[in-house]
Chains A and B, each alone.
Chain A
Amino acid sequence: MTAILEKPPVTPAPVKEPRDWRGPALFALVAVIGLVVMPLVLEPFRLGLLAKYLTYAIVALGIGLAWGQGGMLTLGQGVFFGLGGYAMGMHLKLNDAGDGLPDFMVWSGVETLPALWEPFRNPVFAIAMVVVVPGAVAWLLGTLVFRQRVRGAYFAILTQALAAAMVILLVGQQGLTGGTNGLTNFFEFFGQDVAADSTQRGLYFTVAIVLGVLFLGAWQLQRSRFGRLLLAVRDGEDRVRFLGYNPATVKTITFTLSAVMAGIAGALFVPVVGIISPALLGVVPSLELVVAVAVGGRFALAGAVLGAVLMGYAKTYFSEELPDAWLYLQGALFILVIGLAPKGIIGFFRRKDVTA
């Protein structure tokens, strides 16, 4: 086809786009702080706290992908966090129990190990389930709802209901799940004393590296054609259909990835904090992380991570100093951010020309 409008023709030769080194440089800086500086300056207790916040940051990364990039406001990431956490917790309980039953089962009067638990003896199986179960649940949910064009507030409420249902299920099955107390009192983590400083230090590095790797993966995804497509689905799902793509597929894939991230985070959380229980994965913790992502900046993956870490520290600080104020402060912060600075904290640092 020839040009018919007066504009000068473009040359089809690939335009070499200048590489922006600021992002990678910042990532390297944060990696050095995380992997070198923090382990040197923080005492074991503080390093453990940071490890906990970094597991939350992994969940937040998934929320950033699903919500910030894909427009799926998921208020139930705790479900996937919990599925990953329980898979890990079950393995650790069985490992500690040896030939016997996990302690809470004995207290609940359970006499034989439930069939569901048996395969979790195998560490490879347990670790596989950390990824497979949250992924499969999200995939199934996504396939069912996105095809029916359930979205926006309806999707948000559905995921929240799922979180509530998960808590009821866990609490109700005392003998199978440890009920309200959840799974706790772990002794050994893959041959190490889980409470030992050296183990906790190793866990910190593991969490930090997993977060770094998942961040790079999510970043790559965001910059890919798929990432552009995801933004397009967020901003005009109905229009995307007329580009020949099925938005339901794009959303299901992304939602599944975010669920897998939450599952991995839950599995890492268990040895770091030493417990997984319904209170850690219900409606409130799920919401708290969404608030954290909004505060940090949901349109940037780095914003999601930053928000989770900052809100983690803020929560610890305020729960120590002013326990009652935290809930209100959190709510106020959320309203402030949504109303006045929808791009969150990171929005103040980013150049105007950067896409999402």
Chain B
Amino acid sequence: MTALLEVRDVSVVFDGFRALDGVDFTVDHGELRFLIGPNGAGKTTLIDIITGLTKPTTGTVGFDGAVINGKREHERVRLGIGRTFQTSVVFEELTVLENLDLAASFRRPLLSLLARRRGVTEKVAEALETTGLGDLAKKKAGVLSHGQRQWLEIGMLIAQGPRLLLLDEPVAGMSADERARTGDLLTEIAKDHTVIVIEHDMDFLRRYASTVTVLHEGKLLIEGSVDEVRADPRVQEVYLGRAREEAAHDVVS
């Protein structure tokens, strides 16, 4: 059985700058994979490549055994690749329920969209329940807090029924309490989905016994268990070196 996602030798060049440099990245069915690395490492760019937002300069993206380089964004969603964004984008004029319903309805034939939504479908109810947004269902998404928006985005993703979920820094900017809840949410989703989570905070990973891929300056630095990765001197250099620099910077300024 082939892996669900196979990124082969992908490079991305923006105006002469190599954001990704010969990255190989494979994720198996059912995995919960963390993708970490300091800011600017190329994590978001890798997600953009997988979801079709950015075209690779060289290399291929394989999904479920087929190369999907030529597919456009919405076609990839239809294959089952779903994502959230680092700065969450929900439709503020629509209610929470309408946001979820729209996400859940993309496989309906176009003509059937001409009917009004009546009530709440099972998928949407499930997404409301999983994300705990039930009480806010009738509220416009524009009034949600930052954390609630992230949960709504994750809910929209679940409602799409994807085979591969890509979450770009879902806990960034969240309070400790919100981070904990999001962590629970992730664990729950990972039970029956293949998930890739971007996070640059090593501490957040401590609780997960799963595979971690570290990106640094567009290259794949190391891949292994949380403990292996934490123990690796290169990772320590990337993270601790940076921490040291920042500490030094703080002293100076």
* Interface 9-mer from B23-31, B181-189, B194-202, B234-242: B181-189
A241 near B120: Cβ-Cβ < 8 Å: no
**B residues with CB within 8 A of A:** 51, 72-74, 77-78, 82-83, 85, 89, 91-95, 98, 101-103, 105-108, 110, 113-120, 122, 125-126, 128-135, 137, 140, 156, 160, 181, 184-185, 187-188, 191-192
A39 to B35, CA, bound (A): 71
B72 near A15: Cβ-Cβ < 8 Å: no
CB neighbours of B72 from chain A (8 A)? 241, 246
Given contacts A224-B114, A241-B72, is CB(A14)–CB(B120) below 8 Å?
Answer: yes
Closest to B89 in A: A239
A4 to B107, CA, bound (A): 28
B115 near A1: Cβ-Cβ < 8 Å: no
A1 near B105: Cβ-Cβ < 8 Å: no
Given contacts A232-B94, A244-B77, is CB(A224)–CB(B125) below 8 Å?
Answer: no
CB neighbours of B115 from chain A (8 A)? 224-225
A12 to B134, CA, bound (A): 10
CB neighbours of A11 from chain B (8 A)? 125
- The A/B interface has a contact count, at CB < 8 Å, of 125
In this assembly, does A41 line the interface, its C-beta being within 8 Å of a C-beta of chain B?
Answer: no
Which chain A residues (1-40) contact chain B, with CB distance < 8 Å?
Answer: 1-16
CB neighbours of A2 from chain B (8 A)? 188
Given contacts A5-B132, A225-B101, A245-B106, is CB(A12)–CB(B120) below 8 Å?
Answer: yes
Specify which of A5, A225, A242 is in contact with B184 (CB 8 Å cutoff).
Answer: A5
Closest to B130 in A: A1
Chain A facing B: main interface SS: loop
A15 near B119: Cβ-Cβ < 8 Å: yes
| A–B complex contacts, Cβ < 8 Å, 28 sampled | A1-B126, A1-B129, A7-B132, A7-B134, A10-B137, A14-B119, A15-B120, A221-B114, A224-B114, A224-B115, A225-B101, A225-B117, A226-B113, A226-B114, A231-B94, A236-B91, A241-B74, A242-B83, A243-B102, A244-B74, A244-B78, A245-B106, A249-B110, A355-B93, A355-B94, A355-B95, A355-B140, A356-B93
Given contacts A7-B133, A10-B128, is CB(A243)–CB(B156) below 8 Å?
Answer: yes
Specify which of A3, A16, A229 is in contact with B129 (CB 8 Å cutoff).
Answer: A3
A5-B184, A12-B125, A243-B103 known; 11 new pairs, CB 8 Å cut-off, are A1-B129, A4-B187, A7-B134, A8-B135, A9-B129, A225-B101, A226-B110, A235-B93, A241-B77, A246-B74, A355-B95
Specify which of A228, A242, A244 is in contact with B98 (CB 8 Å cutoff).
Answer: A228
A287 to B93, CA, bound (A): 27
In this assembly, does A223 line the interface, its C-beta being within 8 Å of a C-beta of chain B?
Answer: yes
Given contacts A1-B126, A6-B132, is CB(A243)–CB(B106) below 8 Å?
Answer: yes
CB distance from A342 to the nearest CB of B (A): 13
CB neighbours of B95 from chain A (8 A)? 355
B73 near A228: Cβ-Cβ < 8 Å: no
State the 6 A-B residue pairs at the shortest beta-carbon distance, nearest first.
A14-B119, A244-B106, A5-B132, A7-B132, A10-B134, A244-B77
B51 near A242: Cβ-Cβ < 8 Å: yes
B125 near A10: Cβ-Cβ < 8 Å: yes
Q: Mark A234-278, 1 if CB is under 8 A from B, else 0.
A: 011001011111100100010000000000000000000000000
Given contacts A14-B118, A355-B140, is CB(A244)–CB(B160) below 8 Å?
Answer: yes
A153 to B107, CA, bound (A): 32
B134 near A8: Cβ-Cβ < 8 Å: yes
A226 to B117, CA, bound (A): 10
B105 near A225: Cβ-Cβ < 8 Å: yes
Given contacts A224-B116, A225-B116, A249-B110, is CB(A3)–CB(B74) below 8 Å?
Answer: no
Q: Mark A164-191, 1 if CB is under 8 A from B, else 0.
A: 0000000000000000000000000000
CB neighbours of B77 from chain A (8 A)? 241-244
Which chain A residues (286-334) contact chain B, with CB distance < 8 Å?
Answer: none
Given contacts A3-B130, A7-B133, A9-B134, is CB(A228)–CB(B114) below 8 Å?
Answer: no
CB neighbours of B89 from chain A (8 A)? 236, 239
CB neighbours of B188 from chain A (8 A)? 1-2, 4
CB distance from A250 to the nearest CB of B (A): 9
CB neighbours of A15 from chain B (8 A)? 119-120, 137
A185 to B83, CA, bound (A): 62
Residue with the highest number of chain A CB atoms closer than 10 Å, among B92, B107, B134: B134
CB neighbours of B83 from chain A (8 A)? 242
CB neighbours of A14 from chain B (8 A)? 118-120
CB distance from A160 to the nearest CB of B (A): 27
CB neighbours of A253 from chain B (8 A)? 110
B102 near A225: Cβ-Cβ < 8 Å: yes
A128 to B119, CA, bound (A): 39
A221 to B103, CA, bound (A): 18
Q: Mark A104-135, 1 if CB is under 8 A from B, else 0.
A: 00000000000000000000000000000000
